[in-house]
Chains A and B, each alone.
Chain A
């Protein structure tokens, strides 16, 4: 099977590269676009994977003070300079932030003083993206019917190219302001566990 896949890859590369060698400008453009897409995809996936690394059993990152979940936000805006874990992806919704919180909050210091920050674009209340899936348990993927999306978790550039580019570039937004309107469900979740919750909107 691996031999067949390798052979197919070689044939595809030859089809793509030969016209380029022959000086075909259109083929060259397609080739450059495809290469850029692959690089973008790789960078976005790696950045997403790095964010989920602290949650592995091998990680020593535990009992952190602050968990930042949401859009690409500069930690300086939240006043968090050290001792935080950030899980950010462009265009993350409020619903997704809360679901990620339900999956990741055990990394916070349960002896008190822990803080959760949501950073979302105003009005972006619902929906999930491929960048949320590394943080979700199988039962959550089933609960929300995210099986199809999960098949593309390694190919974000294919299904959400703009978000993938922003993710790959690590673009951060500075146009956030703290909101006093806190979502009830998340607020009571945090309250029961002794965490404080802050929300930033743009």
Chain B
């Protein structure tokens, strides 16, 4: 849900996700979707008979909020927009070096007070993770840009070793032509009778990551929810991982000076 959407646009997508068993919703203040996601989820409670425990709200602290410093105030604003008493996960969107320590202390405080169930950090590489390993309070979630074009094997291994959930945003790299036109991917997808999008999503799951995808199409939600209906073997996973060329769409330092 990474760009402004209306209630009418999001309702069919979120309802479709909930019906297909996808109940986690990721946003950030900069996406400007917190309010509308909250409204749609309230509708889902009424119309689909769900309770707050049946879905997961995950939001973030943006870089500009970190520089302003008062994380609690920004978090309270988010709670008001969602119309909820807690969020399931609160992630630091960018590890702004000068502000990271202070922000993390405040985020950990929100978890201690029960307003946040899980904490996390986005957009970190091994250099940051090595420093995080020494913290008193480790994050529960690490969210990074990850796709077969950027496997991030070291980060995946770090998360597995430390019991941290690895989330992959842009899991299809916006279907970059190197994925879209990959004979290897087409071959693997054909062998399993799935689309290449489903094959890549399954690759994420099999390699220990939770893919976070954005869509406005209920059909796409149905397509990706079916990745639990098949599995890839070790050879498939290894072959897909050979597409790695360390390509990232989002340059960390451009969004996080001094990264």
Contact = CB atoms under 8 A, between A and B. Distances in A.
A177 interface: no
Contacts, number: 58
Contact of A138 (B64, B247, B249, B258): B64
Contact of B251 (A60, A107, A109): A107
B248 interface: yes
B254 interface: yes
B125 interface: yes
B135 interface: no
Nearest to A142: B67
Nearest to A139: B67
Nearest to B150: A62
B81 to A, nearest CB: 21
- Chain A interface mostly: helix
B95 to A, nearest CB: 13
Contact of B125 (A55, A63, A110, A135): A110
Contact of A110 (B63, B246, B258): B246
B144 interface: no
Interface string B39-83: 000000000000000000000000110010000000000000000
Contact of B254 (A63, A103, A189, A192): A103
B247 A62 contact: yes
Interface residues of A, number: 27
B34 to A, nearest CB: 19
Given A102-B259, A107-B251, 6 more contacts: A62-B248, A99-B257, A104-B253, A137-B257, A139-B63, A143-B67
29 contacts: A55-B251, A60-B247, A62-B251, A102-B253, A102-B258, A102-B259, A103-B254, A103-B257, A105-B253, A105-B259, A106-B248, A106-B251, A106-B259, A107-B251, A107-B253, A109-B246, A110-B246, A135-B254, A136-B257, A137-B63, A137-B254, A137-B255, A137-B257, A139-B64, A139-B67, A139-B96, A143-B67, A192-B127, A193-B127
Interface of B: 63-64, 67, 96, 125, 127, 245-259
